[in-house]
Amino acid sequence: MTNRPDLPPEIARRRTFAIISHPDAGKTTLTEKFLLFGGAIQMAGQVRAKGEARRTRSDFMQMEKDRGISVSASAMSFDFASQKGSLRFNLVDTPGHSDFSEDTYRTLTAVDAAVMVIDGAKGVESQTQKLFEVCRLRDLPILTFCNKMDRESRDTFEIIDEIQENLAIDVTPASWPIGVGRDFIGCYDILRDQLDLMDRADRNTVAESIQINGMDDPQWEEHVPPHLLEQFREEIEMARELLPPLDPKAVLEGTMTPIWFGSAINSFGVRELMEGIGAFGPEPQPQAAEPRQILPEEKKVTGFVFKVQANMDPKHRDRVAFVRMASGHFTRGQKLTHVRTKKPMAISNPVLFLASDRELADEAWAGDIIGIPNHGQLRIGDTLTEGEMLQVRGIPSFAPELLQGVRAGDPMKAKHLEKALMQFAEEGAAKVFKPTFGSGFIVGVVGPLQFEVLASRIELEYGLPVRFEPSQFTSARWVSGEKDAVEKFAAANKQHIGEDSDGDVVYLTRLQWDIDRVARDYPEIALTATKEMM
Ligand code: GDP
């Protein structure tokens, strides 16, 4: 079951991953089938209508609404009885809307692998490509699911070529489709020498699997019509010649992706993919930190905050910090040290997001995601330990690409607005800058849709109608350097200076020319487009 028999079994059986895909490729459907096979829900729901609006928040939350399944935003845990033993899957949600967001990036810092879903008719689409690039930055192992094989799809070699070319990753087939579109009858499971036949009549039944003994097994003729069989035999022979065999080490390093073919809506190929996650999606991995790396099997508990969600319950101003456990065995009530403030914190109400319900977490192991309700102490990038001063690395904050001024509809409510903005800034939903000159705030985001989401959330959650308006600035850069140099620079450039929500100095401008000029005139300071969150 594991490449790491030395790990404690509870850690070795954990698989923490995200699903990346272009909208409409089938992420939601696949998630639902995961839950179905995981025994977390009894019956998958029906296809639903949807629009762009549903993508603005979490896909999981929307599933809750649309399908009446009780799931929770951001993370879901469920067990899967794999052939090699029981696995605990922690599936982490990546925001579904199409603006690339930091949120997505940070979510991917909390997982050990990603499942990439592509539509068999469309291949690698723009959003898949972007998300893949983010995974590549961290060398995340990627398992590919080519969905919608029940419909007219592209030629199998063409799909594989496209992935290899566009994403620069080796592709090895874990299964091979037999027939296309209406003629698609199922797949040959290459890894297990098995013929899996799809049941089109009942979308919730698992396909019939027939154990085969090599390509010469007489059972082929029994189950596959001659014209399909002939073509399939040719293809599989070509695949063996042209495509690399599965190399688990290369998968782990993120240079090779195994691909499964299937149809999520017909529950077909899903179980095989889940087995694949068990076999090749790695167990909890070491976590980069300062001054040393954290290993999952360490006895002492460590974890880090990768996401903060405010106002999950609009009646309470509470926030939930999502914490990825990096090591050890956590038990409820345990006191952990909040490294940034060096203060102890008793974690008495941790939440585990089981697909069937949201429950108090009595325990959690390295690899798990827990939610910690708090009043704002926990911020993105924070590390929790049993006392050692460790700081998890690699959770960046990006300079926003779009800036706008913001005003409360009612000028008397400016203080309220400030509070709301700070809350969203800490949640990571936007950057908020307070210019030294003038009144008001400047809000920065990565994608334009985020302004709309913010405006509607401020109105909904704080009862505060707001207006976004063009800002005189279009770029923000963090200023770093020796304290004296930064102060001197700030004093000489007051009309360009502001502070972010952490009190760090930013340089605001309209012109790249200004940024270049600063680099030339002030060699002792640096303007940066990212900062590490501490
Ligand atoms: P998401 O946007 O990636 O979450 O995609 P959804 O899971 O919502 O699926 C998008 C659409 O494709 C829905 O109408 C699904 O019913 C449909 N769909 C998903 N999987 C399949 C499949 O295997 N075959 C077919 N024909 N349609 C599918």
Is 149 annotated among the ligand-binding residues?
A: yes
- Do residues 167 and 127 make contact, with C-beta atoms less than 8 angstroms apart? no
98 is in an annotated binding site: no
The two structure tokens encoding residue 419: 């509070």
| Spatial contact of 458 and 468, defined as CB atoms under 8 Å apart | no
Which residue, by CA, sits nearest to atom 25 of ligand 1? 148
Q: Tell me if 310 sits within 8 A of 421, measured CB to CB.
A: no
Q: Is the CB of 24 under 6 A from ligand 1?
A: yes
Q: Parallel, antiparallel, or unpaired: how do β-strands 497-499 and 431-435 relate?
A: antiparallel
Pick from 46, 47, 265, 268 the residue to mutate for probing ligand 1's pocket: most ligand atoms within 8 Å of its CB. Answer: 265
> Are 63 and 71 spatial neighbours (Cβ–Cβ below 8 Å)?
yes
To the question of whether residue 389 is assigned a binding role by annotation, the answer is no
- 372 sits in which H/E element: strand 369-374
According to the model, what pLDDT value does residue 2 have?
A: 52
Which numbered atom of ligand 1 lies nearest the CA of 147?
23
Start-to-end Cα distance in the chain: 36
Q: What are the residues whose beta carbons fall under 8 Å from the beta carbon of 152, sequence distance 6 or more?
A: 121, 180, 181
Q: Is 27 annotated as a binding residue?
A: yes
User: What are the 10-residue block averages of pLDDT along the chain, 534 residues in total?
Assistant: 77 96 91 83 39 42 52 74 92 69 82 97 91 88 97 95 96 96 92 86 69 87 93 95 95 97 93 95 95 97 91 67 96 95 93 66 92 88 96 82 88 87 85 88 85 86 90 91 94 94 92 91 91 66
Q: What is the C-alpha to C-alpha distance for residues 222 and 98, in angstroms, rounded to an integer? A: 46
Q: How many angstroms separate the alpha carbon of residue 263 from the centre of ligand 1?
A: 9
Cα-only R_g, the chain: 25
For the record, the structure tokens of 378 come out as 């926990």
Class of domain 9-182+247-280: alpha beta
Contact 175, 189 (CB under 8 A): yes
The predicted pLDDT at position 207 comes to 65
Residue 24 Cα, ligand 1 centroid: separation in angstroms? 6
- The reply to whether ligand 1 has any atom less than 6 angstroms from the CB of 101 is no
> For residue 310, what pLDDT is reported?
74
d(CA 465, CA 457) in angstroms, rounded, equals 10
Ligand 1 touching residue 21 (CB < 6 A): yes
Amino acid found at 483: K
DSSP string covering 275-300 = HHHHHHSPSPPPB-EESS-B-TT-SS
Sign of CA dihedral 116, 3, 288, 89: positive
What digits encode the pLDDT tens for the residues 417-472? 999 998 888 887 789 999 998 778 999 987 777 888 888 888 888 889 999 999 98
Q: The domain 289-392 belongs to what CATH superfamily?
A: P-loop containing nucleotide triphosphate hydrolases (3.40.50.300)
Copy the structure tokens of residue 163: 């992935």
Ligand 1 near 257 CB (within 6 A):
no
Backbone phi and psi for residue 180, each to the nearest 5 degrees, phi listed first: -125, 155
Is the reported ipTM for this assembly greater than 0.90? Answer: yes
**Does the annotation place 343 within a ligand binding site?**
no
> Are 404 and 451 spatial neighbours (Cβ–Cβ below 8 Å)?
yes
Decide if 9-182+247-280 and 399-532 have a common fold.
no
- Residue 428 marked as a ligand binder: no
Q: Is 150 in the pocket of ligand 1 (CB under 6 A)?
A: yes
Pocket of ligand 1 contains residue 74 by CB under 6 Å: no
Distance from C-alpha of 490 to C-alpha of 479, rounded to nearest angstrom: 9
Antiparallel, parallel or unpaired: β 256-261 and 142-147:
parallel
Residue of the nearest CA to atom 16 in ligand 1?
47
Question: What is the third-level CATH fold of 399-532?
Answer: Alpha-Beta Plaits (3.30.70)
Ligand 1 centroid to Cα of residue 147, in Å, is 8
CB distance 25 to ligand 1 below 6 Å? yes
346 is in an annotated binding site: no
For residue 171, how far is its CA from the centre of ligand 1 (angstroms)? 23
Between the CA of 265 and the centroid of ligand 1 the distance, in Å, is: 7
Q: To test the ligand 1 pocket, which listed residue (19, 29, 47) has its Cβ within 8 A of the most ligand atoms?
A: 29
Q: Are 143 and 278 in contact (CB under 8 A)?
A: no
Nearest CA to ligand 1 atom 9: 26
**H/E segment holding residue 321:** strand 319-327
The rounded Å distance from CA 412 to ligand 1 centre is 48
Helix (H) or strand (E) holding 462: helix 449-462
Q: What is the rounded distance in angstroms from the CA atom of residue 357 to the CA atom of residue 355?
A: 6
**What is the 3 state secondary structure string of 346-365?**
ECCCCEEEECCEEEECCEEE
Q: Say how many Å lie between the CA of residue 133 and the centre of ligand 1.
A: 23
Q: Give the atom of ligand 1 at the shortest distance from the alpha carbon of 266.
A: 23
How do the domains of the chain map onto residue ranges?
9-182+247-280, 289-392, 399-532
Q: Residue 55's pLDDT is what?
A: 38
- Which amino acid, 125? E
Distance, in Å, from the CA atom of 32 to the CA atom of 323, rounded to the nearest integer, reads 24
- Cβ atoms within 10 Å of 248's Cβ, excluding its own: 14
Separation between Cα atoms, residue 358 and residue 355, nearest integer Å: 7
Closest CA to 451 of 434, 430, 470, 421: 430
Which ligand 1 atom sits closest to the C-alpha of 48? 14
Other Cβ atoms within 10 Å of 495 Cβ, number: 11
- Please name the residues in contact with 9: beta carbons below 8 A apart, sequence gap of 6 or more: none
Kindly give the distance from the C-alpha atom of residue 199 to the centroid of ligand 1, in angstroms, as a whole number.
17
Instruction: State residue 312's pLDDT score.
Output: 62
Is residue 26 annotated as involved in ligand binding?
yes
Cα 33 to middle of ligand 1, angstroms: 12
- The backbone torsions φ and ψ at residue 366, rounded to the nearest 5 degrees and listed phi first, read -50, 135
Is the CB of 263 within 6 Å of ligand 1? yes
* Cα–Cα dist 99/451, whole Å: 11
